Amino acid sequence: MRLGIVGATGAVGQAFLEWLPRFELDVQELRLFASPRSAGKTIPFSGQKLRVQPVGEESFRGLDLVFFSAGSSVSEQWAPIAQRKGVLVIDNSRAFRLHPSVPLVVAGVNSSDLFAHHGIIANPNCSTIQMCVALKAVQDLFGMRRIIVSTYQAASGAGAKAMDELLNQARSFNEGTNSSGNVFPHPLLMNLIPRIDALRENGYTGEEMKLVEETRKIFHSPALKISATAVRVPVLRAHSESITVEVQRSIDLEVLRKEWEKHPGIRVMDDPAKDVYPMPLYVAGEPHTFIGRLRKDLAFENGVSFWVVADQLLRGAAVNALEIAKEWKEGGPQQ
Amino acid sequence: MRLGIVGATGAVGQAFLEWLPRFELDVQELRLFASPRSAGKTIPFSGQKLRVQPVGEESFRGLDLVFFSAGSSVSEQWAPIAQRKGVLVIDNSRAFRLHPSVPLVVAGVNSSDLFAHHGIIANPNCSTIQMCVALKAVQDLFGMRRIIVSTYQAASGAGAKAMDELLNQARSFNEGTNSSGNVFPHPLLMNLIPRIDALRENGYTGEEMKLVEETRKIFHSPALKISATAVRVPVLRAHSESITVEVQRSIDLEVLRKEWEKHPGIRVMDDPAKDVYPMPLYVAGEPHTFIGRLRKDLAFENGVSFWVVADQLLRGAAVNALEIAKEWKEGGPQQ
């Protein structure tokens, strides 16, 4: 496969490069692209040093697939150009996610959607991906009626500079400063910031509405009732979610647990009395979706609550894109 | 008033002493008690140095009121002794909260309940208090049907040693260690711990069931549907909560906002587009309940979601106890 990466020097681009060798994509060519500011850098890959280039009109010629993770304005400008040249785009930005002709795919959840593409496949937002991985079995077994989710999102969701900002606040803690940086509007260390992304007119943030709108699209349920609260927490790179689902049929926790345990991308860690549950400090660097704290929900006649943690850069971005690429290459979904 | 404090050297006891002079309780005598380990220490108060004593059979003789915040086993042992001597107990432990003959009081929410006491009044759990302060107006205006809450709880909820443990993890961050301490089962810095208190048979933790059971008692609604997820976050001393309420009648956000703004104990901070919302780093040290991110809930026909932050040691413990003492002294609730 001839592969391109736009945004190769970013946090997700780097995660993509790190995990690429573990997917059998038979890479014959790899072109790395970034902003003019980062162009010229070299990045080691499989014993070679690859030079990062700026994106241009002819950049994608001859490629099979290009992965975009450089923000929605870059995707809006360049993805249609790749598309016109017959290069499949897997886009990690929000630019095309809700476009009716663009499949929005969580590998293993709605993989079959990807084959209806018109040249662009969208990777959902990180917090959506891990929630949908967990929700798939809930939907299949019991039918979903209503979802209420509160997130605990890591600095990594705002990029490599945001991770540096949190690290710098921790490193300077002994000096008694907890200063703001350039990425977050307030100090994040020892704090919580209950706003991620821009505000919509309905009082929800963009990050919250991504959870609502993308989940509806992934499950082909445009009327599914979902409400979300998205909060930034002082954690480096794994997102956590407290999820409550009202379902249509009577819940059997053990059936749900077994269904999760069968899923190759899910790790169930659920013995809270012995302090076994997923935690972001340990999930960082792992490609799986971790689930724990499974219990019947007390607010609904038929409902379930649980806790989901996944590495935002891997499961929430690069690994999902790589799984989509692999399923596309193999010509069929792997459920 | 002749006043005693059991647990005077603990984090809540210290907060109680710090805020005591701001309440007009006309303190004529103040006796400080703690465990034998802490007994003998002196604590400055109003220009005097008060010696901390161990608790004994005759400790409470002649007092009007004694505040307990030394854990439930100490309360179980000594509160009935104070009670038999005619000394009113305000107990901050979980020992008596759900006892049918013990009023469980959030000042300004169900203050009138306190006058039905039989010698013991219970202070609710910290996370319950701040939630109920916010819920009061929701209940009065629209009637509550269902509550789903996810908490983001500070180290202070586990006591002064827990705060030290988090501080030490931050101070040693540059040394590359993120070691466990003695209080929390896992490192808390750059992490989340989704278990607070012991596990119940239904899969919920004690902290979660306190939110369920205490809120039902405070609102005299034994069948109110509530589900809770309680998570420890790397924050020093203010708890945050993401709360969704299904209500019985159509929501008017501005009416609710105005009702909150009228409440002397509530501060509404709600202009998220300008990054105005409550955050624990800034709420620490404040006696009020801070509310923001108010919006119609998207999962319910009639529902509301919001974000509540309050200092766990003050609003969630010492200040509520002091307000109860003041209302009791004045002989009538101040709604």
Choice among B117, B132, B239, B263 that is catalytic: B239
In terms of domains, do B25 and B58 share one? yes
What's the pLDDT tens digit per position in B55-102?
Answer: 999 999 999 999 999 999 999 999 999 999 999 999 999 999 999 999
Rounded to whole angstroms, the Cα distance separating B322 from A181 reads 39
The number of helices, as runs of H, and strands, as runs of E, in chain B is 8, 13
Judged by DSSP in three states, A320 sits in helix
Average pLDDT in the A254-267 region? 97
**Out of A192, A226, A298, closest to residue B152 by CB:** A192
Mean pLDDT across chain A = 95
A194–B150: do the CB atoms touch at under 8 Å? no
Report the mean per-residue pLDDT for chain B. Answer: 95
Q: What is the pLDDT of residue B8?
A: 96
Task: Determine the pLDDT at residue A323.
Answer: 97
A153: contact with B, CB 8 A cutoff: no
User: Are A265 and A171 part of one and the same domain?
Assistant: yes
Average pLDDT over residues A246-271: 98
Chain A touched by B168 (CB under 8 Å) = no
> Are A293 and B235 inside 8 Å of each other by CB?
no
Residue A177: predicted pLDDT: 65
CB contact under 8 A, A299 and B146: yes
pLDDT of residue B334: 43
B335: in domain: no
For residue A251, how far is the Cα from the chain centroid? Answer: 28
Q: Does B194 touch chain A (CB under 8 A)?
A: yes
Interface contact A152-B152, CB threshold 8 A: yes
Residue range(s) defining the domain that contains residue B20: 2-124+317-330
Please check whether residue B239 is in contact with residue B127, taking contact to mean a CB–CB distance below 8 angstroms: yes
Residue type at position A330: E
Q: If pLDDT is split at 50, 70 and 90, which confidence band does A333 have?
A: very low
Q: Which residues of A touch B203 (CB under 8 A)?
A: 272, 293-296
The CB density around residue B201, as the number of other CB atoms within 10 Å, is 5
Same domain, B175 and B91: no
- Which amino acid makes up residue A133? V
HSE-up of residue B144 (Cα within 13 Å, Cβ side): 26
- Segment A212-219 shows an average pLDDT of 98
Q: Is residue B134 part of a domain?
A: yes
- Model confidence pLDDT, tens digit, residues B262-301: 999 999 999 999 999 999 999 999 999 999 999 999 999 9
- Tens-place pLDDT, residues A284-332: 999 999 999 999 999 999 999 999 999 999 999 999 999 999 999 998 5
Res. B333 pLDDT band, cuts 50 70 90: very low
User: DSSP state, B276?
Assistant: B
Q: Which residues of A are catalytic?
A: 126, 239
Same domain for A119 and A226?
no
With respect to residue B99, please indicate whether it lies within any of the assigned structural domains.
yes
Q: Which residues of A88-114 are buried (b: 16+ CB within 10 A; e: fewer)?
A: bbbbbbbbbbeeeebbbbbbbbbbebb
CA distance A185 to chain B (A): 7
Q: Provide the CB-side half-sphere exposure for B103 (13 A, CA).
A: 22
CB contact, 8 Å: B285 with chain A?
no
Q: How far apart are CA A99 and CA A122, in angstroms?
A: 9
pLDDT at B181: 80
Chain B residues close to A186, C-beta within 8 Å? 275, 279, 281
Are the beta carbons of A166 and A189 closer than 8 angstroms?
Answer: yes
Domain with residue B239: its CATH number is: 3.30.360.10
**The pLDDT of residue A30:** 97
| Catalytic residue (one of B99, B117, B118, B126) | B126
Chain B positions touching A190 (Cβ under 8 A) are: 170, 234-236, 280-281
Looking at the structure of chain B, the number of domains it has is 2
Contacts of B153 in chain A (CB under 8 A): none
Judge whether A145 is closer than 8 Å to chain B, CB to CB.
no
Return the percentage of chain A with pLDDT > 90, whole number. Answer: 93
Q: Check A234 against B190: CB less than 8 A apart.
A: yes
Q: How confident is the model at residue A178 (pLDDT cuts 50, 70, 90)?
A: low
Start-to-end CA distance of chain B, whole Å, equals 23
Q: What is the pLDDT of residue A233?
A: 98
Does some domain include residue A246? yes
> Which three-class secondary structure string do you get for B117-169?
CCCEEECCCHHHHHHHHHHHHHHHHHCEEEEEEEEEECHHHHCHHHHHHHHHH
**B78 and B189 both lie in a single domain:** no
Interface mutation vs chain A, best among B178, B247, B298, B300, most A CBs within 10 Å: B298
Q: Between B170, B192, B253, which is nearest A233 by CB?
A: B192
pLDDT tops 50 at residue A66: yes
Residue A203 touches chain B, beta carbons under 8 Å: yes
Q: Is B126 a residue of the active site?
A: yes
DSSP string across A258-271: HHHHH-TTEEE--B
Check CB contact of A277 with chain B, cutoff 8 Å: yes
B257 and A CB contact within 8 Å: no
The answer to the question of residue A263 being in a domain is yes
Q: Is residue A335 included in any domain, yes or no?
A: no
Residue B182 sits in the same domain as residue B115 = no
- pLDDT greater than 80 at residue B178: no
User: Which ipTM value was assigned to this complex?
Assistant: 0.96
Residues B108 and B132 in one domain: no
Residues of B in contact with A283 (CB under 8 A): none
d(CA A206, CA A197): 5
> Please, what sign has the CA dihedral across residues B222, B226, B227, B228?
negative
Kindly state whether residues A234 and A186 are assigned to the same domain: yes
C-alpha distances (whole Å) from A326 to each of A23, A61, A171, A333, B2 are 7, 21, 40, 9, 75
Mutate to test the interface with B, among A242, A282, A296 (most CBs of B within 10 A): A242
Residue matched to tokens 């059997």:
A252
| Optimal mutation site among B145, B202, B229, B277, interface A, most CBs of chain A within 10 A | B229
pLDDT at A55 over 60: yes
Question: Which residue reads 């006043």 in tokens?
Answer: B3
Residues B43 and B118 both lie in one domain: yes
Q: Which of residues 61-120 of A touch B (CB under 8 A)?
A: none
The enclosing domain of B67 has a CATH number of: 3.40.50.720
Q: How confident is the model at residue A334 (pLDDT cuts 50, 70, 90)?
A: very low
Put simply, whether A205 touches B (Cβ < 8 Å) is yes
Helix and strand numbers, DSSP H then E, in chain A: 8, 14
Note whether B184 and B273 are same-domain residues.
yes
Same domain, A67 and A171: no
Residue B92 within any structural domain of the chain: yes
Cα atoms in the 13 Å half-sphere on the side-chain side of A23: 24
Name every chain A residue with its beta carbon within 8 A of the beta carbon of B148: 148, 244, 299
Q: Is the pLDDT of residue A69 over 90?
A: yes
Eight-state DSSP code of residue A156: G
- What is the mean predicted confidence (pLDDT) over B32-38? 94
* B interface test, pick of A204, A208, A229, A282 with most B CB neighbours within 10 Å: A229
Q: Is A226 on the interface with B (CB under 8 A)?
A: yes
Phi-psi region of A129 (alpha: psi -120 to 50; beta: other; left: phi over 0): alpha
In this structure, are A140 and A209 located in the same domain? yes
Q: B176: pLDDT confidence band, cut at 50, 70 and 90?
A: confident
- Domain assignment present for residue A114? The answer is yes
